[in-house]
Amino acid sequence: MSLIPKSHPRAKSLYIREKLVKGFDSGLVAKEGLMAHGRGETFDYLLGEKTSKHAQKAISAAAFLLNNSKYPVISVNGNVAALCPREIVKLAKTTNSKVEVNLFYSNEKRKKNIVRILKKAGAKEVLGINPKNSKRISGLDSARRIVDKDGIYKADVVVVPLEDGDRTIALKKAGKKVITFDLNPLSRTAKTADITIVDNVDRAINKLISECKKSRLRKAPFNNKRNLAAVVLEIKKNLARRMPHA
């Protein structure tokens, strides 16, 4: 039961934090995932804890790319499994994407727990757990280099929420289009991906699902670097607005 009063000015952020703690206690989230979340919270605070118009623009571009891809795959790690398993399954169904568990801090037990939570959320198939299907993507030392031959290995578009920079670079080198959710507009992932949604995945994923459901999406011009620069400016404005007057 939540001890956070609804009237707390930042209740939503604290509810999201609770999901991570619960996810850690139930063996989904790595210890490091709690720290990664804290880093995200900082940026979320600076972004005003809302979806900016720049994030919305990236969401529209991502929906267009997903709806026009041949073999989209959604990569799931511990944090994402704790935050939004039902939404991951919904997004996969809406866009006809495969779902693959792929961890930075590899751990078989945690993988199994993540598969269980995704199946409970309605996933029919979860890739990334059959060693016979393992393939390596080159140029990568972390556990994330092992991918499923019917999943990320084969994908033309990969959705990688909360990704590490090295793998985004490796996925790009392997010729994939990369969509990410990353609250830090300055991270290597944010700068390397084709489309970076600088927003909390917990908040933005439903917006992406709604956008993907639109039957007639138009291709609008989208430049990721320019969009990231606009987000940084937005943070700068927010900082100036929040600064106490001496």
Site for ligand PTJ in 75-94 (CB under 6 A): 77-79, 83
Residue 5: count other Cβ atoms within 10 Å of its Cβ: 8
Question: Contact between 24 and ligand PTJ (CB under 6 A)?
Answer: no
The answer to the question of residue 148 lying near ligand PTJ (CB under 6 A) is no
Q: Candidates 120-128, 134-142, 194-202, 215-223 — which segment interacts with ligand PTJ by CB under 6 A?
A: 194-202
Rounded to the nearest 10 degrees, the angle between the axes of helix 201-213 and helix 53-67 is: 50
Q: Binders of ligand PTJ among 33-52, rule CB under 6 A? A: 33, 36-37, 39-40, 43
Q: Which of 168, 184, 224, 227 binds ligand PTJ (CB under 6 A)?
A: 184
Return d(Cα 77, Cα 94) in angstroms, integer.
20
For the chain, where are the alpha helices, taking DSSP H only? 11-25, 31-46, 53-67, 78-83, 85-95, 108-120, 165-173, 188-192, 201-213, 224-242
Secondary structure of residue 58 in the 3-state scheme: helix
Residue 103 lies near ligand PTJ (rule: CB under 6 A) = yes
Chosen residue from 105, 133, 154, 230 binding ligand PTJ by CB under 6 A: 105
Q: Kindly state whether residue 237 participates in binding ligand PTJ, applying the rule CB under 6 A.
A: no
CB of 40 to ligand PTJ, least distance (A): 2
Burial class (CB in 10 A: 0-12, 13-18, 19+), 191: middle
Is residue 104 involved in binding ligand PTJ (CB under 6 A)? yes
Considering the complex, what minimum distance in angstroms separates the CB of residue 242 from ligand PTJ? Answer: 19
**Helix crossing, 224-242 with 31-46: angle to 10°?**
70
54 binds ligand PTJ (CB under 6 A): no
Work out whether 108 is an interface residue with ligand PTJ (CB under 6 A).
Answer: no
d(CA 50, CA 72): 27
Residues that bind ligand PTJ in the complex, under the rule CB under 6 A: 30, 32-33, 36-37, 39-40, 43, 77-79, 83, 103-105, 162, 164, 181-184, 187, 200-202
